[in-house]
Structure 1
Amino acid sequence: MTGTPDLVPIPFSQSRGPDGIAVRGGVGSISFQWSELGHGAHLLGVLADELREILHQCGDLQWRLQMLLNSTEVASDPIGYAAVNALDGARAALSSCDAEMRDTAQRIEFCRLAYAAAEAMAQMAAGAVHAGVGMIEHDLHRLIGTANAGHFAEPTPLGLDRLPADTTITVDGTAAGLLQRIDSLDAEGPGIFEVLKVQRPDGPVFVVVLPGTQGTAAVATDNPFDPTGIVEAVHYDSTFVADAVHRALAESGASRGDRVMVVGYSQGGMHAANIAQDPRVVEDYSLELVLTAGSPTGREASGDATYLHLEHADDWVHQVDGTANPDEHNRVTVTLEEPAEDVPASEKGLGPAHKLPTYLAGAEAVDASVHPSIVATLGVVGTTLGRRSPAQRHVFRVRRLPRSDGTALPDRQGRD
């Protein structure tokens, strides 16, 4: 067994490609490749240990056979001597394989440790930045505490109303097809989200679709997706939105163990990441996919689901949490690098790069990509949901209930 001392990862560039996207995380990422090398080195060591045990057994058998041949009864048996020679050759071959396997495992582990050391140095270099973010978070917590004292941003439990809806629609199991549902949802008014039930041969799949931030009110209204809903997402783990989604799934016919996907844009993506970690949802359902667009989700831990995050390079919204999404095998972040089309000044809002149409266009490029991380992630969508599948549509409106002191929240549900 021979090999070169250099281990070269799969050469997928992080710079802009012909499809105008850059990919981080997933099975095509450097992090996943090095973790797999570490696992491979461990397995090689285990196999080498097993091989050494076989080597010892061969040696023991050879010695016992040699002792037998030394006795007067079989001293002239040529077959016995041939067996001894064969065992001796087997021991030599096994010894050579054992040495090469251990050498290979050590070289792989050395490369992995060198990579880990480089990562540690990079983390140390970023320590000052993280410390600065920590101070910002501390100040933000204090600001939110002050706001909550005046009932400006404090979330409250949510009421859930089921609305009439079309019986069946067609849902496309692609990134663009799922994000298109948000565009359709926004046209129906504020405070509304939907649950799509797709019946598959191996059981139903439920897709929860959450809108982005609605309105511009600086104080809490009865719409949980208003700007103060970001406070619930960041500092309350979307506890009330997750509860509403949990109830909506049950009302939509979801049973324990059923598969669930959660799709969200902007603030809705923040809620989606939290829902995938909410104990009530995780305990009752199997989370298959979390798809977000333009959402700051870097500080949210990963659950067992597959994650696909779309972020535009010129969109500042997904950067406000001060950290990137984790680079993990089940979590893929796609940076869209094609310039966003400009919009009229009256429609700029948080900027053209944050607009849903920008992410819809980017999602089409993602669907067409052949990057291994994207192919593996969208494979989960296609396999679980299928292409252009009929879905029962269940529509819900959520509203914040009066505060504990009985004070009603203002009805300000305009969309941004």
Structure 2
Amino acid sequence: MSHSSSGGSPSADFQLDEFERAAARLARAGECLIAARMLITTALADAGPPVAVEGRFLPSAAEAYLRSGNQLAIGVGDTVEECRAGLDASRAIYEQAERRAALKAYEQRSAVLPAAVQDRFSSNHGHPDTQTTEDLINAAPGYGLPWLLLGGRPASDPSMAAASSVVARLLGDRDHGGPFRSGVAERMAIGLSGLAAVRWIFNVRTIRLGAVSTAAPEAFEGTVPDLMDLQRRAEAQVSGEGAVLVTTTRTARGPVHVLTIPGTQPARQGRYWASRNPFDESGIVEGTGMGSRQVAQAAAEALDASGARPGDRLVITGYSQGGIHAANLAVDEDLVARYDVDYVVTTGSPVGSTVLPEGTRGLHLEHVDDMVPGLDGRPNPESSNQVTVHFEGYAPDTDLQAGGFGAAHQLGNYTQLSGELATSDDPGVVEARSALGTLFAGATTATVTTVKLRRVPSTGPRKARIKPVRRPPGRPRHRALDSTPPH
């Protein structure tokens, strides 16, 4: 279900998966009715003998009521099962129609993708927007392979266009007309992370805890502005490289901890393999292709060092790369077994491949002009527990010609625009805001613990070496040509 708005105000995209939820409730109701009928059958055995009236044997009053109740249960059960089957069928029809519509829209956008990219670069301050980035990711195999095989012909060439369409379908995922379950970006990330780990191009080794420091208590209510301020403080300019924040507050229902993970902090001089910062470019590789395994372990140790205890409630937030880790940590088996992960907030992050558990709520802040959320090649999951807010427009002091990933991706722009959530009447935003308010009910102050993280040093990239072929001793390297016949 989509709620759109303009003029810089936020909009939310989410799907009310009431088909599945209602079907589950009806299934449980049917089970209850079956259990009731079993109890009625047992009671009928104890209802007593029939009563003789004018030479006829009639059932006792208790038996009559029980039999009437049993018939009612049978009728209601049949109706419930009919409704459940109808809901299942309706959901299947809805999903098929939605998938066909999305595929048709993607095909139409792909047909004019080169022109769309050029248009977005000129109108979006030199960067593609989220939708165009997603389309580029999914169409990349279709354009790349034919371009190589056909000798670099332009995209407008008819043979190039035909080959692109065929290759895109062969290598695409099911949502884009292909045979694969996983998306192009996901498969590329797994392949690249495997290559990086084998060749040690990136440092994805174990993460160790460094210095741990806790500040004095400060005002904190757990609002979205509070969480965004923590996100700002987690960045390298404030807390230093490789730092995460653990904010602990007391609520009416006990302690709640907020784990804040920063965005990408580029490795110095591009030496990814030598960097020990967990949140440099190597962190992107770990997050997109390795499920943030090392970050999850380090996060558990950081929480423990800050005083968190098993069973405590946890909120995880992250900006850009940090959002990728935040979503991964919410589905990490070890972390979820240790803490009650209630909420995940991501800002400008490509998290479309991560489906949060039903008991974990997600609030995903994205800007329609930000290319980074589109780098996973797919929109965020559509479920009742995950809400994606799309911002439009820019804060007054935003540098529209900013380098890197552009103005739309700047944390400062997201921070100022997120202030609009406090007054938004969008149903998805209201629900997300209410859930945060309930989670942090009673919170007035908090302590912020800064934990520095460092990766174990890497020994450097391995160079590929070709081993010489070993031959048995005495065997010549080649056979001399000789026309003399053997004796």
With the length of structure 2 as denominator, give the TM-score of the two structures. Answer: 0.66
The aligned amino acid for 1:30 is L
Q: Which of 135-144 and 245-254 deviates more?
A: 135-144
| Count of aligned residue pairs for this structure pair | 382
The answer as to whether partners of 2:246 and 2:306 remain within 8 angstroms in 1 is yes
* Residue 142 of structure 1, CA deviation: 4.2
* Residue 214 of structure 1, CA deviation: 1.6
C-alpha distance 404-114 of structure 1, shift in aligned 2 (>3 A): same
* Residue 56 of structure 1, CA deviation: 7.9
SS in 2 for 1:274: helix
The answer as to whether partners of 2:20 and 2:91 remain within 8 angstroms in 1 is no
- Corresponding position of 2:346: 292
Instruction: Choose the corresponding residue for 2:53, options 58, 69, 82.
Output: 69
Instruction: Choose the corresponding residue for 1:320, options 354, 358, 375.
Output: 375
- Corresponding position of 2:4: 15
SS in 2 for 1:68: strand
C-alpha distance 398-59 of structure 1, shift in aligned 2 (>3 A): closer
- Corresponding position of 2:111: none
For 1:223 and 1:360, locate their aligned partners in 2 and report how far apart those are by CA, in whole Å: 25
Question: Counterparts in 2 of 1:173-188, with a 5 A limit?
Answer: 173-186=222-235, 187-188=238-239
Instruction: Choose the corresponding residue for 1:41, options 26, 33, 36.
Output: 26
SS in 2 for 1:228: helix
Question: Counterparts in 2 of 1:116-131, with a 5 A limit?
Answer: 116-120=92-96, 122-123=98-99, 125=103, 126-128=175-177, 131=180
Cα-Cα RMSD: 3.8
Question: Counterparts in 2 of 1:191-202, with a 5 A limit?
Answer: 191-202=242-253
For 2:45 and 2:305, locate their aligned partners in 1 and report how far apart those are by CA, in whole Å: 69
For 2:460 and 2:267, locate their aligned partners in 1 and report how far apart those are by CA, in whole Å: 25
The answer as to whether partners of 2:292 and 2:328 remain within 8 angstroms in 1 is yes
The aligned amino acid for 1:400 is R
Q: Which of 309-318 and 360-369 deviates more?
A: 360-369
> Residues 43-90 of structure 1, C-alpha deviation per residue, up to 9 Å, x if partnerless?
45346556767998999999965x511349xx9xxxx99x87x99799
Question: Counterparts in 2 of 1:2-401, with a 5 A limit?
Answer: 13-16=2-5, 20-25=9-14, 29-31=15-17, 33-46=18-31, 49=34, 65=50, 68-71=52-55, 99=75, 102-103=78-79, 105-107=81-83, 109-120=85-96, 122-123=98-99, 125=103, 126-128=175-177, 131=180, 134-135=183-184, 137-186=186-235, 187-215=238-266, 218-220=270-272, 221-303=275-357, 304-330=359-385, 332-341=386-395, 343-344=398-399, 347-386=402-441, 389-401=444-456
* Residue 231 of structure 1, CA deviation: 0.4
> Residues 302-343 of structure 1, C-alpha deviation per residue, up to 9 Å, x if partnerless?
23422221222222211211223322333x222324223484
> Residues 101-133 of structure 1, C-alpha deviation per residue, up to 9 Å, x if partnerless?
634652453143122233145447525257496
For 2:304 and 2:340, locate their aligned partners in 1 and report how far apart those are by CA, in whole Å: 14
Identity value in percent: 25
For 1:294 and 1:184, locate their aligned partners in 2 and report how far apart those are by CA, in whole Å: 17
C-alpha distance 151-363 of structure 1, shift in aligned 2 (>3 A): same
* Residue 292 of structure 1, CA deviation: 0.8
* Residue 400 of structure 1, CA deviation: 2.2
For 1:51 and 1:44, locate their aligned partners in 2 and report how far apart those are by CA, in whole Å: 10
With the length of structure 1 as denominator, give the TM-score of the two structures. Answer: 0.76
> Residues 376-396 of structure 1, C-alpha deviation per residue, up to 9 Å, x if partnerless?
433342233236621122112
- Corresponding position of 2:167: none
* Residue 369 of structure 1, CA deviation: 3.5
The answer as to whether partners of 1:55 and 1:95 remain within 8 angstroms in 2 is no
SS in 1 for 2:281: coil
For 1:18 and 1:100, locate their aligned partners in 2 and report how far apart those are by CA, in whole Å: 51
* Residue 245 of structure 1, CA deviation: 1.5
- Corresponding position of 2:156: none
Q: Which of 287-296 and 307-316 deviates more?
A: 307-316
The aligned amino acid for 2:330 is A
The answer as to whether partners of 1:296 and 1:319 remain within 8 angstroms in 2 is yes
* Residue 265 of structure 1, CA deviation: 0.7
The aligned amino acid for 2:52 is L
SS in 2 for 1:296: coil
SS in 2 for 1:30: coil
For 2:403 and 2:284, locate their aligned partners in 1 and report how far apart those are by CA, in whole Å: 20
Please list every run of 5 or more consecutive structure 2 residues that lacks an aligned counterpart in the other structure: 104-174, 463-487
C-alpha distance 380-61 of structure 1, shift in aligned 2 (>3 A): same
* Residue 235 of structure 1, CA deviation: 1.6
- Corresponding position of 2:139: none
SS in 2 for 1:209: strand
Please list every run of 5 or more consecutive structure 1 residues that lacks an aligned counterpart in the other structure: 1-11, 408-416
SS in 2 for 1:241: helix
The answer as to whether partners of 1:41 and 1:109 remain within 8 angstroms in 2 is no
